[in-house]
Structure 1
Amino acid sequence: MTQAFKRLRGLAGAVMVLAVTSLLIFVLIDAAPGDPAEIMLGTSAQADTLAALRTELGLDRPLMVRYLGWLAGVFTGDLGQSYTYGVPVAGLIGERMLVTLPLTLMATVLAVAVSLPLGVMAAARPGKAGDGLASLFSQVGIAVPNFWIGLLLILGFALNLTWFPVGGFPGWGDGFWAALWSLVLPAIALAIPQAAVLTRVTRAAVIEVTNEDFIRTARAKGLSRRRALWRHTVPNSLLPVVTMLGLQIPFLISGAVLVENVFSLPGIGTLAYQALSQRDLIVVQNVVLLFAVIVLAVNAGTDALYARLDPRLRARK
């Protein structure tokens, strides 16, 4: 089987998954209780007015006709018009992603920067003080919700110390560093639970590789404990860490719903929450579909990174 055929098969599989996912998203969201026209006009609106608005929004058409029309728009870049905001959904989502994507990237970098050294330190000397510190961090980070961490960060670093803004986002046009600074506390709130999980995974992976025969052979040949750790053990421990990180990135984006509301950030999470509460179906559908696309893209990136980390996987291709 040629490399080109494998890539074509993978692309076809991804398209099929997106098609099934889009259908499920559309049907489930459409079945949710509440009439968008009634929410927009209020319960006191006349029946003929409601009917006219439903016709204008296309809600009077059959389900599959609306689904196929939405799907055709997705492929052409026309995601429709928001019921609530009255603007194209594509521009609305693009504007909000300029907040959520940097926030997620910062949280991912922070989670990796904290968890990898902490997990390796814990695995290098099990049962010592460093291991106890990593275990405590993991337990607390997993137990405490990220929105509660965000509230504590606001109380400590925004209200008491006034080092950071309490909330809001000035916009990238008002200064790069000011906008970046407003994302620091939300990124920490998102990163801590993910770093706690990654720390535990890193510790377990490093300990497992440490007990392998090739590590004992390297130590028997005179390689120091530190060099064996960083030259052989840690690189061979990265596959489960990368797997967990690939699973966490979509959760970081979806977890931004609560954190963005806590910090009053105009991101994709806030948009999804507002659209859902206002029954803005077209926005909710496109946001959820975007999350599905991100999951597939992250999975593809994770598979590519596997091949970089493990030469055996490259040999199979």
Structure 2
Amino acid sequence: MIAIMLRRLAGLFLTLAAVSLLIFVVMDVLPGDPASITLGTSASPDTLAALREEMGLNQPVLLRYLHWLAGVAHGDFGRSYTYGVPVADLIAERLTVTLPLALMAILLSVAIALPLGASAAARRGGAIDNFATFFAQTSIAVPAFWTGLLLILLFSTRLGILPSGGFPGWSSAPWSALTALLMPAVSLAIPQAGVMTRVVRAAVLETRQQPYARTALAKGLSARRILWQHCVPNALVPMLAILGLQFTFLVAGSVLVENVFNLPGLGRLAYQALSQRDIVVMQDVVLVFAGLVIIVNFLVDLSYLAVDPRLRSESA
């Protein structure tokens, strides 16, 4: 087990290194000069050259990459050209919004998809199965930001029971902060719940055909007990696989959803940095996004071994 974890950790660090190189190269070839954008078009050539030297833009690409990577390894993400503060402080502040939002969205998607998908598999061809199929197809087809706009029109504009945007902060009003994240979390959760519903339904249908399920039925166990004590636990591996992929889509979707709800999260920070051509913030935020996705998928990969003893024996 320890050897497996060490191999996975080695793969994690290699993946992060490769992703960091890709991010830096892509950001470096983007059009536009950060120094020119910072000073404006009326800046003199001497002032522009001095700022480029201060930013390190006149150094070779490889040297700038190694300098950036060494700073990231020590927790120094550089300073923002636009905000004039350490990028690490900006990211830490925005993570207090994005991480709870992603966690709420994942919990909501599981709370919707697990009972709906399992019930649809237990009553194949029935009304619940038809509803689950309709829900999955509809929720996958509708973008998360459009769902967010509809929620704002219903619960904020018409009913006036939820805030349409903004974030009050955790220190002043935790309950208000949770309320502000509720509609964005639902917007992100509904498409993922549709995907997971289909995965859960297919996995439970497959486990119901296994010999242990038929044996339990022959012993006189109720269909409900067989479903929740035997079929659903053995369908957890594909569920965990889709959870790792869903986190990737949640990170990507947060960029639009956070802008729709005016949330000060990482997604909105990435959008602002892109519009202001703040390369330091852009590459650091993208690296944090990629690191979160890689780490979550690493944890999901390890969770396979925890929920399925067969995988542990095969790895050994």
Correspondence for 1:177 among 168, 175, 178: 175
Distance 2:303 2:109 in 1: 18
Q: List aligned pairs for 1:187-202, cutoff 5 A.
A: 187-202=185-200
2:88 is matched with which residue?
90
2:32 is matched with which residue?
34
The structural deviation recorded for 1:43 is 2.2
Q: Which runs of 5+ in 2 are unaligned?
A: none
Cα RMSD (Å): 1.2
Instruction: Evaluate the alpha carbon distance shift between residue 264 and residue 229 of structure 1 in structure 2; reply closer, same or farther with a 3 A threshold.
Output: same
Q: Give the partner amino acid of 1:19.
A: A
* CA displacement, residues 199-230 of structure 1 (integer Å, 9 cap, x when unaligned): 11111111111122221122122222111111
Secondary structure in 2 matching 1:174: coil
Distance 1:133 1:6 in 2: 42
Q: Give the partner amino acid of 1:232.
A: H
Correspondence for 1:54 among 38, 52, 55: 52
Distance 2:177 2:240 in 1: 29
The number of equivalent residue pairs is 315
Q: List aligned pairs for 1:271-310, cutoff 5 A.
A: 271-310=269-308
* CA displacement, residues 139-173 of structure 1 (integer Å, 9 cap, x when unaligned): 11000000000000000001110111110011112
* CA displacement, residues 18-39 of structure 1 (integer Å, 9 cap, x when unaligned): 1111111101111011111111
Q: List aligned pairs for 1:1-317, cutoff 5 A.
A: 3-315=1-313, 316-317=315-316
Instruction: Evaluate the alpha carbon distance shift between residue 282 and residue 180 of structure 1 in structure 2; reply closer, same or farther with a 3 A threshold.
Output: same
Most deviating of 297-306 and 124-133? 297-306
Q: Give the partner amino acid of 2:73.
A: F
Most deviating of 127-136 and 219-228? 219-228
Distance 2:264 2:111 in 1: 26
Q: Give the partner amino acid of 2:290.
A: A
Distance 1:309 1:291 in 2: 27
Most deviating of 307-316 and 137-146? 307-316
Distance 1:8 1:137 in 2: 41
Distance 1:4 1:241 in 2: 24
The structural deviation recorded for 1:9 is 3.1
The structural deviation recorded for 1:307 is 1.4
Work out whether residues 78 and 86 of structure 2, in 8 Å CA contact, stay in contact via their aligned partners in 1: yes
Work out whether residues 140 and 195 of structure 2, in 8 Å CA contact, stay in contact via their aligned partners in 1: yes
Most deviating of 27-36 and 247-256? 247-256
Secondary structure in 1 matching 2:67: helix
Secondary structure in 1 matching 2:77: coil
Q: Normalising by the residue count of structure 1, what TM-score does the alignment of the two structures yield?
A: 0.96
The structural deviation recorded for 1:250 is 2.3
* CA displacement, residues 99-141 of structure 1 (integer Å, 9 cap, x when unaligned): 0001111111000000101101111111111011111111110
